[in-house]
Amino acid sequence: MLVIDKFVIDGVRYMVWNDTFTMPTHDGIAMLLSSRDGVGADYILSGEGADVRCYDATGAAAEIDSAARVIAAHVGSIASVVPGVEHIEVRLTDGYASRIMSAGASVRVAG
């Protein structure tokens, strides 16, 4: 099971990928961030410090905004750093994690 943090700041949903796991392909990122087939997020962040990367809901590289930088810098304590931030812990089953890791995956997730 993969556990991923999801944060909502000013209505924008950010997920933070744990770099101890391999990052999914662009198609896997799009599936994961999808509100229909995944967990619903606008961006996923990976890396830390100056090496933070950001991808949008299509899986394409995106520019890192100020909220994303704050999240990347303070993942463990974001609620105390940014007032009004919502934190959600997302748990991905091993089966779903395997699907998003497959390039070009075309899977419907129940629920």
User: What are the sequence ranges of the domains in the chain?
Assistant: 2-101
- pLDDT bin (cut points 50, 70, 90) of residue 75 is low
What pLDDT shows up at residue 91?
A: 93
Which stretch of 7-11, 58-62, 83-87 has the lowest confidence by average pLDDT?
A: 83-87
Q: Is residue 66 pLDDT above 50, yes or no?
A: yes
For tokens 């924008």, the residue is 12
What single-letter amino acid sits at 42? D
Q: What CATH fold (topology level) applies to the domain 2-101?
A: Diaminopimelate Epimerase; Chain A, domain 1 (3.10.310)
The DSSP H or E segment spanning 95 is helix 94-101
Q: Which two tokens stand for residue 58?
A: 């299509």
Q: Name the DSSP class of 68.
A: H
Q: Is residue 33 pLDDT above 80, yes or no?
A: yes
Q: The pTM is what?
A: 0.82
